[in-house]
Amino acid sequence: MKRLIAYGLVLLFLLFATAPYTVNAGLVFIAGIAMTEIIFALSWNMLFSYAGLASFGHAAFFGVGAYTAAVFLKYDYGLHFLLVIALGTFLGGVSSFVVAIIVLRRASGIQLAILTLALSQLVVTLIGYSAFLGRDEGIPSIPRPVMEFGLFRIDMNDQVQAYYFLFVMSLLAVALMWLLLHGYVGRRMKAVAIDPERAAFVGIDVWRVRVFAFTIGGAFAAFAGCLLVPWAQIVTPDLVMWLHSAQPMLATLLGGAGFFWGPIIGVLVLSMVNYATRTFAGLSEVLVGGILLIVVLLAPQGIMGFLRRIVERSSTGKPAMVEEQA
């Protein structure tokens, strides 16, 4: 299975790395959007699969990053875009930390889901009353930044440069999340997700681990929001809506909850379905719904789980008895 994942990742890397030279500008644009959605979905999966927290309002933190970047670029405060990303990520982390220390004290499970959903809708309402944030229309026509690095500069007005900036930043984010979740921190989170009582018994501060996971997840979501802005050149309250919060959930369910790489597969499948059905209004929703139904019925562990079952059956002749983290 590990070899299959490695091959898949190399193929994925090559596809994304060569996209500006192999596919049309529309697909390159969709690939850029997909990269930000991948970071967003991985950040949600970090909460769900590793810390056992189901947030239904994760898009609020994505929105914190997106609106921070939009304001700085639109109103031209002259801050280097890397610093804007850092600030947006920091604000995403701070806001998710505040939400975590309030919400996680008292809520878990369905209560947590409803509370986070309500909070994100509150953010949508607040944006709707703010002329500075463009109210319901959002902030359109956001200029793309030019970044000076002394020896070189990145001009995001050039579509290819913008794409590779996004690509490199996305790779960094994915690598950081992988390292985080495959080390000491990830193991503590996993222990809390599997059995919080037993984790507490062996000395893990469950609440602190959950707050940490929620904060880091929010920061990565905000990071994805920051990256989206110069690419899409528009932010709207839709980015904060519950429907956007549902996207990483769908991607995780589809790709495989419990797998680090699952959400990536999910985002890619969803993007492909949306692209393939773009000329048939309303068909993408029907198809996505149908695919999810099939996945839930036939492969409850998502595409990754299904693939692992096939690989293990073909190598041992028997289905796997013990589930392991891929």
Partner 1 sequence: MKTNRRQFIGGALGATALSGLASPMLGQNAPIRIGCITTLSGGYSLFGEAQALGMQMAIDEINANGGVGGSQLELVVRNDDIKPDVALAAARELQGEGVHIYAGVLASGVALALSGVMEELDSVFLNAASHGNNLTHEDFNKNYFRVTDYSAMRIWAAANLMADRYPDNTKWGAILPDAEIGRSTLEVFSARLPQEHQTLNGHGATIDEPVWTKFGSTDFRAPIARLMSQDIDGLFVGLGGADEVTFLQQAGQLGLTNKVGAIITSGSEFLTPIALKQRTPPNYWSGFHWYYGAYYGENPVATKVVDTYRAAGHGQHPDGFVGMGHTAIQAIAAGLEISGSTMAGDLVPALEGVTFETVKGPVELRAEDHQALCDVNYALIAGAENEDGWEVLEAAKVDGRPLAGEPSPGEEMSFG
326 binds partner 1 (CB under 8 A): no
Query: Binding mask 281-320 vs partner 1 (x if CB under 8 A, - otherwise)?
Result: xx--------------------------------------
Q: Which amino acid is at 30?
A: I
Distance CA 245, CA 96 (A): 14
Does residue 183 come out as left (phi exceeding 0), alpha (psi in the -120 to 50 range) or beta?
Answer: beta
Distance CA 33, CA 224 (A): 10
Q: Are 217 and 43 in contact (CB under 8 A)?
A: yes
Sign of the dihedral defined by the CA atoms of residues 23, 264, 113, 59, in that order: negative
Query: Binding mask 148-167 vs partner 1 (x if CB under 8 A, - otherwise)?
Result: ---------x----------
Cβ partners under 8 Å of residue 16, min gap 6: 31, 35, 167
276 binds partner 1 (CB under 8 A): no
Residue from 14, 109, 140, 182 that binds partner 1 (CB under 8 A)? 140
Q: Are 66 and 225 in contact (CB under 8 A)?
A: yes
Residue from 6, 105, 126, 135 that binds partner 1 (CB under 8 A)? 135
122 binds partner 1 (CB under 8 A): no
End-to-end Cα, the chain, rounded Å: 8
As a dihedral over the C-alpha atoms of residue 150, residue 233, residue 124, residue 274, rounded to 10 degrees, the angle is -120
278 binds partner 1 (CB under 8 A): yes
Residue from 6, 13, 132, 136 that binds partner 1 (CB under 8 A)? 136
Residue from 3, 202, 279, 322 that binds partner 1 (CB under 8 A)? 279
Residue from 23, 114, 160, 194 that binds partner 1 (CB under 8 A)? 23
Residue from 238, 246, 309, 326 that binds partner 1 (CB under 8 A)? 238
24 binds partner 1 (CB under 8 A): yes
169 binds partner 1 (CB under 8 A): no
Distance CA 230, CA 165 (A): 11
Smallest gap from Cβ 163 to partner 1, in A, equals: 11
Binding residues for partner 1 (CB under 8 A): 22-30, 33, 128, 135-138, 140-141, 157, 232-234, 236, 238, 278-279, 281-282
